[in-house]
Structure 1
Amino acid sequence: MQKYLILLAGCPCTGKTYLVNQLQQQFKDSFVITPDEAKILYAESIGFNCKAEKEALEHKVWQFYYGVLQLYMDAGKRVIISEYPFSDKQKRQLSEFAEQYHYQVITIRLVADFDVIWQRRYQRDRSPERHLCHIMQHYHYGDTLENRNLADDLITKDQFYQVCQMRQYDQFVLGNLIQVDVTDFTKVDYSRLLNELKQIVKL
């Protein structure tokens, strides 16, 4: 029985979460796990009082993420989907798990013009739907902030560019690669993408 790990990679704000929902409809018995879910879980259960504590909590996030991923691989879940701006920091561990538990890895890498994704990032960080733990240096369950422009951990355009370049989000690949340009969401042929994926995933 072939098993698959589908990684949705690419810079922030390239539409990975939307694509996860599309993939879940395609693969009804798939399991989805993302580091951001763990970030929110720990932020709400433990919280942090400063930038250093927030960064320290990040280690717990990845321990949790890799631990759950390994449990589901060990249980033999046939299709596991994960989305994140993956970089070489995660490649070794993901590759080792895939080899250990005999998973075929497929990377769907979403790419876009930088100025476009920056505008998306700017708007997303200021949206009421964005969890506060992502844009604050201090957070505990129940905290609110009416004016998101006052958040103290917002990223600037230059910082965002440097992070994307340094971590090479738009170059990550593990296993089979499918690349999609999402500069203009209205021009993305998701049906074609899903059909291409079905040629690889044999269930």
Structure 2
Amino acid sequence: MKKYFILLAGSPGTGKTYLMNKLRERFPDMYEITLDKIKEYYADSIGFDNLEERAEQERSKVYPFYYKALALYMEAGKKVVVSEYPFSDKQKGQLQKMAETYGYEVITIRLTADFDVLWKRRYTRDREHERHLSYIMDHYHYGDSLDDRRLATNHITKEAFKKIISDRNYDAFELGTLYEFDVTDYEKVDYTSLLDKLEQQIANDE
């Protein structure tokens, strides 16, 4: 039986979570793991008093937890494992090694979009009340609140956002078989043919 490791890659604001939901509809037994959920867990359970503490928390807690959890599910032989994140070369080597160790075929679905569109989406999302507060504050502990998200202390600037995308080369991440979609206009994006193809391929490999 073949096993598949599907990576949803692309800059923030490309709709990876939406695609994750579409995949879940097709593969209800898949295992999904996201670094952002783990970041939020540690922010709520430990918190941080400054950005240096947050960065250290990611290095010493978040990433080790992610790779350990991923290894456990791969070792258990989950047929379909899906992860979404703005992946970069920072994670590529470890992900490739794990896929090889546990015998997973890797598929990358990379989402791209015009930068100005991405910035508008990011700007809007950071000011929505549903956005986890730890992403937009330079200090955070569980129970903190901020009614007016415009007053957050760690809003990213357009210039900094562009530099991160460029420096980390989100649009170039690729591991295994690559499928790419331009999601500048969500209304023009149709994942149906890809989802059909994946469903058929995975069913045939039972």
Shorter chain as denominator, the TM-score bin is over 0.9
User: Distance between the aligned counterparts of 2:99 and 2:112, measured in 1?
Assistant: 24
User: Distance between the aligned counterparts of 1:196 and 1:182, measured in 2?
Assistant: 20
User: Distance between the aligned counterparts of 1:184 and 1:196, measured in 2?
Assistant: 23
The alpha-carbon deviation at position 199 of structure 1 amounts to 5.1
Task: Give secondary structure in 1 for the equivalent of 2:53.
Answer: helix
Counterpart in 2 of 1:198?
199
User: Distance between the aligned counterparts of 1:193 and 1:180, measured in 2?
Assistant: 10
Counterpart in 2 of 1:85?
86
Counterpart in 2 of 1:74?
75
The alpha-carbon deviation at position 158 of structure 1 amounts to 0.4
User: Distance between the aligned counterparts of 2:184 and 2:75, measured in 1?
Assistant: 37
Counterpart in 2 of 1:43?
43
Task: Give secondary structure in 2 for the equivalent of 1:33.
Answer: strand
Moved more, 58-67 or 186-195: 186-195
Counterpart in 2 of 1:101?
102
User: Distance between the aligned counterparts of 1:196 and 1:149, measured in 2?
Assistant: 43
Counterpart in 2 of 1:179?
180
Question: Counterpart amino acid of 1:81?
Answer: V
The alpha-carbon deviation at position 75 of structure 1 amounts to 0.6
Q: Deviations over 1:50-108 (max 9, x none)?
A: 11111111111001000100000011111000000000000000000000000000000
Percent identical residues: 58
Counterpart in 2 of 1:159?
160
Q: Deviations over 1:133-175 (max 9, x none)?
A: 1111110001001111111111100000000001000110000
User: Distance between the aligned counterparts of 1:163 and 1:200, measured in 2?
Assistant: 35
User: Distance between the aligned counterparts of 2:174 and 2:200, measured in 1?
Assistant: 19
Question: Counterpart amino acid of 1:38?
Answer: I
Q: Deviations over 1:111-140 (max 9, x none)?
A: 010100100000000000100011111100
How many residue pairs get matched?
203
Counterpart in 2 of 1:33?
33
Counterpart in 2 of 1:57?
57
TM-score under structure 1 normalisation?
Answer: 0.98
Question: Counterpart amino acid of 1:18?
Answer: Y
User: Distance between the aligned counterparts of 1:64 and 1:116, measured in 2?
Assistant: 33
